Amino acid sequence: MDLPPTAPEPMALFLDFDGTLVDIAERPEAIDVPPGLPALLMRLSARLDGALAVVSGRPIPQLDEHLPVPIAKVGDHGGSLRVDPAGPVEGPPLASPPASWLARARLLADTFPGAFIEVKDHGFVLHYRQAPEAAGMAQGLLEAMVAEAPDHFTLMPARMAWEVTPRAVSKGTAVAALLARAPFAGRVPVFIGDDVTDEAGMAAARAAGGLGLRLQDSFGTPSALRAWLAALAEPSDTP
């Protein structure tokens, strides 16, 4: 494992949620959010003058439920964005997958006990963490689906899951959009994630002269990352 980096100054920090800030759970609704995490994010946001965003595949309302703090949030892998906690959720108009895709995916999941479908606003996820034998068939079915509309949808591998998501957006497009506006503009971006779905965000941060860090390589575990963030949130000694 690489050593955690020295934080650049001034920094804009982008953090994935599942698997990065919190441990992966058997099901999305079963995650355990450490009691001190919301307060830590508030201290960190103050330390960074607001240039902190949680960038997730979850919808923003779910992020609000788990992290009820007034910080910038990106949901749906870049499909929705809210910088001002009191402001509206922004995002481009996106198509949703045909209902027939979801029906076929559910039929497959139902044949493997433990597999299940997570429905999102503009896509869906086939989870097979509890049914690893479903991985190959799930991949084949979903690849065939997105091949029917390759200009609109793509298939992303995740940790023990496959996700159908709009092609037009990614965590990378969200990072680029945030870096063009206050309070993120003019800062060195650092994106931290743990999964293939985070790679576009990491690449966007690097392209803007910053860092894209894989949790497992630079920190090891979400708890180690939270300890690093807690140290980072301490007031600077620099006048």
Please indicate, yes or no, whether residues 110 and 82 belong to a single structural domain of this protein.
no
Same domain, 186 and 81: yes
**List of residues 6+ apart from 176 with CB closer than 8 A:** 204, 208
pLDDT tens, N- to C-terminus, the chain (239 residues): 555 667 888 999 999 999 999 999 989 989 999 999 999 999 999 999 999 999 999 999 999 999 999 999 999 999 999 998 888 999 999 989 999 999 999 999 999 999 999 999 899 999 999 999 999 999 999 999 999 999 999 999 998 999 999 999 999 999 999 999 999 999 999 999 999 999 999 999 999 999 999 999 999 999 999 999 999 998 765 44
CATH code where residue 195 lies: 3.40.50.1000
- 4 occurs within a structural domain: no
**Domain containing residue 215:** 11-92+169-232
On whether the CB atoms of residues 229 and 40 are closer than 8 A, the answer is: yes
pLDDT of residue 86: 83
238 domain residue, yes or no: no
CATH number of the domain encompassing residue 114:
3.90.1070
Residue 115 lies in a domain: yes
Please give, one letter per residue, the 3-state secondary structure of the chain.
CCCCCCCCCCEEEEECCECCCECCCCCHHHCCCCCCHHHHHHHHHHHCCCCEEEECCCCHHHHHHHCCCCCEEEEHHHCEEECCCCCCCECCCCCCCCHHHHHHHHHHHHCCCCCEEEEECCEEEEECCCCHHHHHHHHHHHHHHHHCCCCCEEEEEECCEEEEEECCCCHHHHHHHHHCCCCCCCCEEEEEECCHHHHHHHHHHHHCCCEEEEHHHHCCCHHHHHHHHHHHCCCCCCC
Q: What is the pLDDT of residue 6?
A: 78
CB 41 within 8 A of CB 233: no
Q: What is the pLDDT of residue 87?
A: 87
How many domains are contained in the chain?
A: 2
User: Do 194 and 210 share a domain, yes or no?
Assistant: yes
Structural domain ending residue among the three candidates 166, 186, 211: 166
pLDDT score at 235:
78
Q: Is residue 3 part of a domain?
A: no
Task: Note whether residue 31 is domain-resident.
Answer: yes
In the prediction, which pLDDT does 239 show?
46
The reply to whether 85 and 18 lie within a common domain is yes
Would you name the residues annotated as active-site residues?
Answer: 16
Q: Which residues pair with 75 in a beta bridge?
A: 80
Give residue 28's identity as a one-letter amino acid code.
P
